[in-house]
């Protein structure tokens, strides 16, 4: 209590510690800025990838469907599950690479 009653002691201590406080505050502000920039970048990345995957399904539909009228049930199942087109089928489109809209598979 005696220290607080001395005139000017508190202001001298405050002036002595002020540069350290301001340096710590600047470091915290810089860290916060970097953190918010990283959070913003991650948010934009998530938005981009969300809409990219949402549009993948609509990009594969070109309007020219494969005619499966003469196929057996086994050939249709193989096409639906694995994406394989029978060799005897007269199809002028390229077969889709793996992972583009195929369902099932091993």
Q: Using the predicted structure, report yes or no on whether residue 106 has a pLDDT greater than 90.
A: no
What is the pLDDT, as a whole number, of residue 104?
61
Contact 104, 81 (CB under 8 A): yes
Contact 105, 81 (CB under 8 A): yes
Q: Using the predicted structure, report yes or no on whether residue 99 has a pLDDT greater than 60.
A: no
Q: Read off the tokens for 6.
A: 């001395």
CA distances to 4, 39, 51, 66, 68 from 63, rounded to whole Å, are: 85, 40, 22, 10, 15
Task: State the pTM of this model.
Answer: 0.35
pLDDT in tens, 50-74: 888 777 765 555 556 788 888 899 9
């Amino acid at each position: 209590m005696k220290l607080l009653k001395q005139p000017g002691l508190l202001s001298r201590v405050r002036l002595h510690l002020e540069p350290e406080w301001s340096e710590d505050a600047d470091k915290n502000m810089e860290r916060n800025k970097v953190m918010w920039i990283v959070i913003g970048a991650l948010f934009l990345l998530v938005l981009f990838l969300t809409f990219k995957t949402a549009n993948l399904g609509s990009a594969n539909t070109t309007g020219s469907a494969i005619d499966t009228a003469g196929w057996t049930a086994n050939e249709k199942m193989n096409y639906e599950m694995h994406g394989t087109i029978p060799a005897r089928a007269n199809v002028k489109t390229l077969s889709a690479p793996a992972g583009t809209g195929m369902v099932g598979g091993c």
